[in-house]
Amino acid sequence: MSKGKVLVIGSNATRIEIEGGGWAPTGQYLNETVVPAMAVIAAGYEVVFATPDGTQPTIDPASDSAEHFGDDVAAYERAKAFFATDPAMTNVRALKDVIADGLEPYAGVFVPGGQAPGVDLMQDAEVGVILRHFHARSKPTALLCHGPIAVTAAMPHAREFRAALIAGDTAKAREWAKGWQYEGYAMTVFSNSEEKVVEDYVLHAKLYFSVVDALETAGGKVVTTPVNFEPNVVEDRELITGQNPRSDHPIAERFVAALDRVLVAA
């Protein structure tokens, strides 16, 4: 018997704006998606995968490698097969349909990273509805790597907030962020120095804003490690955030523990 349902929110973005005009390819990270999802299932929960348009996310090619699985080729192949064939990953629902059916049955919500959430999820109205629901009920809300930027969707003016960041108008972004549910929360996210590695060696371009700066502008208390790609998880009340791809297993453990605590308390 399932312990309950867990909502996993994926991104449909396949490109991200870069300075000077134009776009760079992006997507969702494979390990950041499947490692926590598989852990949640192994712990006895049912995963419901949903995206803004109800189609499966595009996996960022930069993540499609055994390197993100500790060079364990067998683990990498299992992950690829899970994402490609397991009903938990292939039976994707649209966020609006999940909301219409009711959010009360869900024990928690998880958002994986890759830079894609910084394009669509951080300003998606339906993501905002979902996050406000889980926040109001103090249900476990976990986000990994770039995924934590999605919490800005809970703002009353998330689209305007992002537009101000793109325009480089920090003062205006702060104005649009007023009333944010997660103001004052401790959190982590992909660090500025880690982002520079991606900009220099993967994108070969500079992004309009960093996720660290965005969350700090909104009022988050962001904590990142001084060493790039060191695993790091920060937990504050119902919010559980992981810094980078190597935080996949640690955040999965913390998220499952939080789900189990809520189950026991109930």
3 touches 257 (CB < 8 A): no
- Identify residue 53 by its one-letter amino acid code: D
pLDDT at 46: 98
Beta strand pairing call for 46-51 and 5-9: parallel
Question: For residue 1, is pLDDT > 90?
Answer: no
Q: Could you read off the pLDDT of 125-161 as tens digits, one per residue?
A: 999 999 999 999 999 999 999 999 999 999 999 999 9
Q: Is 59 left (phi over 0), alpha (psi -120 to 50) or beta?
A: beta
| Percent of the chain whose predicted confidence (pLDDT) is above 90 | 98
Q: 167, 173, 172: which is closest to 149 by C-alpha?
A: 173
pLDDT at 95: 98
Residue 40 in tokens: 């949640």
pLDDT at 4: 96
| Average pLDDT of the segment spanning 70-82 | 98
| Average pLDDT of the segment spanning 115-125 | 98
Taking the C-alpha atoms of residue 212 and residue 125, their distance in angstroms, rounded to an integer, is: 22
105 touches 71 (CB < 8 A): no
The residue range of the domain holding 120 is 5-265
| Average pLDDT of the segment spanning 30-47 | 98
| Average pLDDT of the segment spanning 66-70 | 97
pTM of the model: 0.98
Residue 113 in tokens: 């990273």
Q: Could you read off the pLDDT of 209-234 as tens digits, one per residue?
A: 999 999 999 999 999 999 999 999 99
Number of domains in the chain: 1
Taking the C-alpha atoms of residue 215 and residue 213, their distance in angstroms, rounded to an integer, is: 6
Question: For residue 266, is pLDDT > 80?
Answer: no
pLDDT at 229: 97
| Percent of the chain whose predicted confidence (pLDDT) is above 70 | 100
Give the CATH number, domain containing residue 251.
3.40.50.880
| Average pLDDT of the segment spanning 103-132 | 98
Q: Indicate the average pLDDT of the chain.
A: 97
| Biggest CA pair distance of the chain | 53
Question: For residue 82, is pLDDT > 80?
Answer: yes
Q: Could you read off the pLDDT of 157-175 as tens digits, one per residue?
A: 999 999 999 999 999 999 9
